[in-house]
Amino acid sequence: MATTSRKHTHPLRTLVILGLVIVALFTMIGFSGVWSPKLGLDLRGGTTITLTASNVTGSGTVDPASLELARTIIQQRVDSIGVGESEVTTSGDRQIVVSVPNVQRDELVRMVGQTAQLYFRKVYAAEASTGGATQPSATASAQPTTEPSASPSATPNKRPMPGLPTPVPSPRPTAPSGQTTALADLLKWTPSDRDNSEFAAFQCDQPSPTPDVTDQPLITCDQTKSYKYLLGPVLIRGDQVTRAIAAVPQNSVSWVVELEFNSQGAADFQAVTAHLSGQTSPQNQFGIVLDGTVISAPSVGTEYSAGIAGGKAEISGSFTQKSAQELANVLTYGALPLSFEISSVDNVSAKLGGDQLQAGIIAGLIGLALVLAYSILYYRGLALVVSLSLVVAGALTWALVVLLGTSMGFALNLPGIAGAIVAIGVTADSFIIYFERIRDEVREGRSLRTAIETGWVRSRKTIVVADSVSLLSAVVLFVLAIGAVKGFAFTLGLTTLIDLAVVFFFTKPMMTLLGRTKFFGEGHRFSGFESEHMGASNPPLHNSRRTGAVVAGGEAR
């Protein structure tokens, strides 16, 4: 027994280390400036839409690449409204779940259900934006291919841009969006003083001052928000592109994007490239715009003064395989690559979310009060260990949930709160297993100090196994579940790990220290260690300070 007790000679050191860990976690929270957990959509209010792909193949499945591409396009649309903490995820093999806080049903349905707008516009001005990182300079050159082609740079916005062109006053078009205007007239369009002044004042960290309307100019930025553009009215629509693929041409080692247009698009493209080839930079560029953002802004060389005929073109530049494929996908799937039906729309008001959060907190407090009441009635003074252990577990849970929210985007939803409430019972189970094991050891005639140590050795295996089962259940549920249920699984798994840490590094050292005190060690009344309360038939436990002997149930140690 003496050997067993000597294995735990520094319980105070363990408690100090655990305290330092908790202090470090809350110090990190202080540096982040966020003291409350990130709340899920069901608690802070918003809208969730489930979209189901309707155009499946003959095998009844959806192409995973098309589903992921659709998810990316929808994510870009949702992000464009400037609402943080939105989520667009795939579910199963044909569903996309869109969750956006503080956005009402009609607005979100319109946004995710519309066809993506892909347009080709002439660039009238382009320069670096102070609202984004400056990109390094690069020079693009045109390389003819066996097919009639334009080979502009995929990233021409990286070259130094000259100042604004001399404006020629011109009224902004007032025709309704979607109304077509003769291409020759559109090519003669020039920006007005108003357009130039708005462009000069605009930075990429600001909302665009112009809407994405086909017959009006557009002031916008590239995807990296490094360069801003003043674009003219739409010259070619995305639906005129019939094919776009990423490829490596013969006798070349660089990736390019090959385009094919329909008959009308081919004619328009020849006229546009003939016009652009005679312009100076940056007005020899055309911006490829998806949902109001410049995806690429290639230029047309002077060798194409007659335009590019045949309805085929090639965009070359500093492409990688990935970037070339991404641009080809955008050009091919300007619209969503799949047709979707809205399967469900769920609204959660901010008030309803607040009511749910309040109800969850009340339920947790009731569960906590019941555990403490049981501990006081049954374990008496040992309820101090229970309460302090729950406080430590609560502090660790709060700190980790807040830090995971700021670093990884973990949001605490209502099922997650349910998982935290369940964890109170898991933690109580660990206490009961350990305390009851100590009582068994005392009934067998061991002293209190010995019972604390041997009871721990024999109970910790049971505690680890029980928590391992809970942890395994949480992992399996997290892998197989979808949507908000993952929050329950994640929180349950996290709190189970915290329970193991608290039992090993707080509850056990605290019991060892209390066993050395007079009130607990000598089995005073209401300590929870009195022999009659623990079922021992012999006189109460006590420590003899004069002899150093410990007597329990008549057995000398």
pLDDT score for 232: 93
Strand partners, 288: 120, 296
Rounded to an integer, what distance in angstroms lies between the CA atom of residue 200 and that of residue 427?
62
Q: In the numeric block, which tokens belong to residue 198?
A: 């708005």
- The reply to whether the predicted model has a pTM over 0.85 is no
Q: Sort residue 70 into left (φ over 0), alpha (ψ -120 to 50) or beta.
A: alpha
pLDDT score for 556: 36
Q: Which of 472, 497, 495, 498 is nearest to 418 (CA)?
A: 495
Looking at residue 365, the DSSP 8-state letter turns out to be H
CA count, 13 A, side-chain hemisphere, 538: 14
Rounded to an integer, what distance in angstroms lies between the CA atom of residue 98 and that of residue 49?
5
pLDDT score for 60: 61
pLDDT score for 126: 92
Rounded to an integer, what distance in angstroms lies between the CA atom of residue 470 and that of residue 313?
59
Rounded to an integer, what distance in angstroms lies between the CA atom of residue 123 and that of residue 295?
13
Domain ranges of the chain: 45-113+340-346, 118-321, 349-556
Count of C-beta atoms within a 10 Å radius of residue 520: 23
Distances (CA, A) of 550 to 58, 374, 382, 555: 81, 30, 21, 8
Q: Sort residue 219 into left (φ over 0), alpha (ψ -120 to 50) or beta.
A: beta
Report how far Cα 221 is from the mean position of its chain's Cα atoms.
Answer: 24
Compute the Cα dihedral for 128, 132, 136, 138 and give only its sign: negative
Which one of 3.40.50.970, 1.20.1640.10, 1.20.140.10, 1.20.1250.20 gives the CATH number of domain 349-556?
Answer: 1.20.1640.10
CATH 3.40.50.20 fits 45-113+340-346, yes or no: no
Which parts of the chain sit beneath pLDDT 70?
Answer: 1-9, 54-60, 77, 79-85, 102-105, 107, 110-117, 131-181, 333-337, 348-354, 356, 409, 481-484, 521-524, 527-557
Q: Which of 516, 502, 515 is nearest to 427 (CA)?
A: 502
Q: Which of 384, 402, 381, 404 is nearest to 392 (CA)?
A: 384
The answer to whether the 45-113+340-346 and 349-556 domains have the same CATH topology is: no
pLDDT score for 193: 92
Looking at residue 189, the DSSP 8-state letter turns out to be -
pLDDT score for 84: 52
Q: Is 89 helix (H, G, I), strand (E, B) or coil?
A: strand
pLDDT score for 24: 92
Rounded to an integer, what distance in angstroms lies between the CA atom of residue 249 and that of residue 62?
31
Q: Name the CA dihedral angle for 393, 398, 401, 405, rounded to a multiple of 10 degrees.
A: -170
